[in-house]
Amino acid sequence: MTGILRETLVLSAVSAQMADAVERAARSLVHVSGRARYGASGTVYASGLIIAADHTLERDDNLTVEPPDGRALAAELLGRDPATDLAVLRVADLGLDPASPAAGPVRVGQLALAVGRPAGQAVMASLGVASALGGPLRTARGPVLEQFIRTDATPYPGFSGGVLIDTEGAVMGILTSGLIRGVGLAIPMSIAIRVANTLARQGHVTRPYLGVGAQSVRLPDAQRRASLPEHGLLVVSLGDDSPAARDGLMLGDIIVALDGRPVAHVETLQALLAERAVGATCGVEVVRGGTLTRLMVTLGQRQPGARA
C-alpha cells in the first residue's frame, strides 16, 4: 500500500492485553468430563481443588479433569449445591495455580471476557461487558443466590464452570448457564469461593429456614403506625414442625422485620435468612391483630423443596 500509515498503537496494545488476560486465566482452567454429550469447564480456586458447575456433572463417579498439559486425571466429587449450580472436585497432583479473584467490586459496563475449556486442551473466550448485577435470585433448583453478574459475552457450550474475567485476567465470577437456562450468568467469585469452601468441608450447603409461606402485602391503614413500614409479608402457610410454627408464628401474622431489618418482599427475607446460620436465633417482628409483636425464632435446616 502507498501513503503514510499511522500505527494503531493503542488498539494493538488493548488487543494484546486481552489475549494476555485470557492466557493468564487459562492457566487455572481445566476441562471437566462428567456428562454424556460433551464436557464443561472447571476453575482451580485452591491447591488441588476445582469449582465446576453442578449441572454439568451428571454422575458422581468416574469424573475426569484435563489440565492444559493434556493429562487426564481422576477427580473426586467433594460436594455439590444445586441451588447455586456449584460443585467441588478434588484432584491429586494437579499442580495448577489457583485463579486470582478480582480485587474490587464488579462495575456494570466493565469489559469482561468469558473463558472456558469446553473441549480438552483448547481454551476458548468471548468478549462482552458486565451487563448488570442482579439478585437475589430464586432459581428453579433451589432458594436463592444473593447476587449474580449478567454478561453479554457469548456463553459457548461447555463454558459453565469457566470464568468471567476482567482485562487483567482476574476472576469476577464463575460462569453458569444452568441457573437460568441458556442465559450467561456468573456467580461472583466471593460467593463461589464461600460455597466451595463449605462444599469441600461438609459436602453440602445448609441453608437456614423459617418454614413459612408468605406473600407481600400492604399493611391495612388502620394498622399502620408511624413506626411501621408500608409493606410486610403475610404468612399464608406454616410448615408443620417448622421453626416458625414451633416458636409461635401464626397464620395471618404480617412479618415486618427480621432482626430489625424491614422485609417487604419474600426475596428480602430469603436474602436475610441466607446470611444467618442454622441454629441462630432471630428476632421476627410481626403485626398481629394490629399490634406489633416480637418473637424469637431459632432457624432450622432447610430440607430440599422446603419453603422460606
Partner 1 sequence: MTVGGANPVARPGRAPAYLPALGDDIEELLSRVRPSVVQLQGRHRVLGAGVVEGGGGRVVTAHHVIAQQWPVEVVGADGRRSAARVVHADPRLDLAVLDALDGAWPVAAVGDSSRLRVGELIFALGHPWGQPWAVAVGIVSGLGPLRLPRRPELPECIWSDVRLAPGNSGGPLFNARGEVVGLCSMVIGGDLAVAVPSRTLSRWTQGVPQCA
Binding residues (CB under 8 A) for partner 1: these are 1, 4-12, 14-16, 18-23, 26, 113, 115, 119, 122-127, 153-154, 156-157
Question: Cis bond leading into 262, ω under 30°?
Answer: no
**Least distance in angstroms from the C-beta of 233 to partner 1:** 41
Q: Based on CB atoms, which residue is closest to partner 1, 147 or 167? A: 167
**Least distance in angstroms from the C-beta of 64 to partner 1:** 20
Number of Cβ within 10 Å of residue 175's Cβ equals 29
**Least distance in angstroms from the C-beta of 37 to partner 1:** 14
**Least distance in angstroms from the C-beta of 154 to partner 1:** 5
d(C-alpha 156, C-alpha 149), whole Å: 17
Q: Based on CB atoms, which residue is closest to partner 1, 13 or 217? A: 13
The end-to-end CA distance of the chain, in Å, is: 69
**Least distance in angstroms from the C-beta of 10 to partner 1:** 4
**Least distance in angstroms from the C-beta of 118 to partner 1:** 9
What phi and psi values does residue 63 have, to the nearest 5 degrees? Answer: -95, 140
Number of Cβ within 10 Å of residue 289's Cβ equals 9
Q: Based on CB atoms, which residue is closest to partner 1, 125 or 219? A: 125
**Least distance in angstroms from the C-beta of 153 to partner 1:** 7
Q: Based on CB atoms, which residue is closest to partner 1, 15 or 206? A: 15
Number of Cβ within 10 Å of residue 115's Cβ equals 29
Q: Based on CB atoms, which residue is closest to partner 1, 9 or 140? A: 9
User: 254-258 and 261-262: which strand pairing?
Assistant: antiparallel
245: which DSSP letter?
H
Q: Based on CB atoms, which residue is closest to partner 1, 151 or 242? A: 151
d(C-alpha 85, C-alpha 111), whole Å: 24
What phi and psi values does residue 200 have, to the nearest 5 degrees? Answer: -65, -30
Q: Based on CB atoms, which residue is closest to partner 1, 113 or 149? A: 113
Q: What residues have CB less than 8 Å from 136, skipping those under 6 apart? A: 144, 145, 146, 147, 267, 270, 271, 274
Give me the sign of the Cα torsion angle 150, 151, 157, 161: negative
